[in-house]
Amino acid sequence: MAEIEIKTAPADFRFPTTNQTRHCFTRYVEFHRCVSAKGDEAAECDKFAKYYRSLCPAEWVDKWNEQRENGTFAGPL
């Protein structure tokens, strides 16, 4: 790995407050909806994946991944 790209999830006008919990959750849901609509390999979905990985604590992502596998995820997928 030579050069890293300094880039992160942009500010989102839907989430202008200090509380960014929903920002992270929404990006996670958006990614999985994108994947289920366009298939696993769709390149358009990559940006959503980058966004939620930047915004969500790893622990939350792990928990949600587990919940999706068990079919108990609370979000609209």
Partner 1 sequence: MILRSLECRFLTIALCDAAEPWQLGSQDAATPMMQGIIDLHHDIFFFLILILVFVSRMLVRALWHFNEQTNPIPQRIVHGTTIEIIRTIFPSVILLFIAIPSFALLYSMDGVLVDPAITIKAIGHQWYRTYEYSDYNSSDEQSLTFDSYTIPEDDPELGQSRLLEVDNRVVVPAKTHLRMIVTPADVPHSWAVPSSGVKCDAVPGRSNLTSISVQREGVYYGQCSEIRGTNHAFTPIVVEAVTLKDYADWVSNQLILQTN
Instruction: Give me the residues that bind partner 1 (CB under 8 A), please.
Output: 1-11, 13, 15-21, 24, 50, 53-59, 61-62, 65
To the nearest whole angstrom, how small is the minimum distance from the Cβ of residue 18 to partner 1?
A: 5
To the nearest whole angstrom, how small is the minimum distance from the Cβ of residue 20 to partner 1?
A: 4
CA distance 32 to 40: 9
From the list 52, 61, 46, the residue with the least C-alpha distance to 26 is: 52
Based on CB atoms, which residue is closest to partner 1, 7 or 72? 7
What DSSP character marks residue 11?
A: P
